[in-house]
Amino acid sequence: MIKGLIPAAGSGTRLGPFTNAIPKELLPVGEKAVIEHVVEAMKLAEVDEIAIVVSPHKHGISDYLGSGKRFGVKLTYVVQDERLGLANAVLSAEHVIDDRFVVVLGDNFFFPKSFLIDLISYHSNENAEATLGVIEVEDVTRHGIIRSKGNYITDIIEKPSPDLAPSKLGSAGIYIFEASIFDAIRRTKPGIKGEFHLPDSIKVMIDDKKKVIYKILDGIHIDVGTPMDLMKANNWYYMNKQCDNPL
Ligand code: UTP
CATH number, domain containing residue 20: 3.90.550.10
If we measure between CA atoms, which residue out of 146, 115, 152 comes closest to residue 130? 152
Q: DSSP letter at 127? A: T
Give me the pLDDT at residue 243, please: 55
Range of the domain at 143: 3-241
Which helix H or strand E contains 36, and what residues bound it? helix 34-44
Tell the residue nearest (CA) to atom 9 of ligand 1. 12
- Is residue 246 in a domain? no
How many A from CA of 20 to the centre of ligand 1? 14
| Residue 143 · residue 133 · CB < 8 Å | no
**Count of domains forming the chain:** 1
Does residue 3 sit in helix, strand or coil? strand
How many A from CA of 25 to the centre of ligand 1? 10
- Is residue 19 in a domain? yes
How many A from CA of 150 to the centre of ligand 1? 31
Give me the pLDDT at residue 247, please: 43
As a three-state string, the secondary structure of 187-244 is CCCCCHHHCCCHHHHHHHHHHCCCCEEEEECCCEEEECCCHHHHHHHHHHHHHCHHHH
- Is residue 212 in a domain? yes
CA dist list (Å): 135 to 170, 174, 193, 243: 6, 10, 25, 20
Dihedral class, residue 136 (left if φ above 0, else alpha if ψ from -120 to 50, else beta):
beta
Axis-axis angle for helices 34-44, 115-126 (nearest 10) = 50
- Is residue 169 in a domain? yes
- Is residue 247 in a domain? no
Regions of the chain short of the pLDDT cut 50: 246-247
Q: Do strands 212-216 and 130-136 pair parallel, antiparallel, or not at all (unpaired)? A: parallel
- Is residue 142 in a domain? yes
- Cβ(9) to ligand 1 under 6 A? yes
- Measured CA to CA, the distance from residue 85 to residue 53 in angstroms comes to 12
If we measure between CA atoms, which residue out of 15, 8, 19 comes closest to residue 54? 8
**What is the pTM for the complete model shown?**
0.96
- Measured CA to CA, the distance from residue 127 to residue 125 in angstroms comes to 5
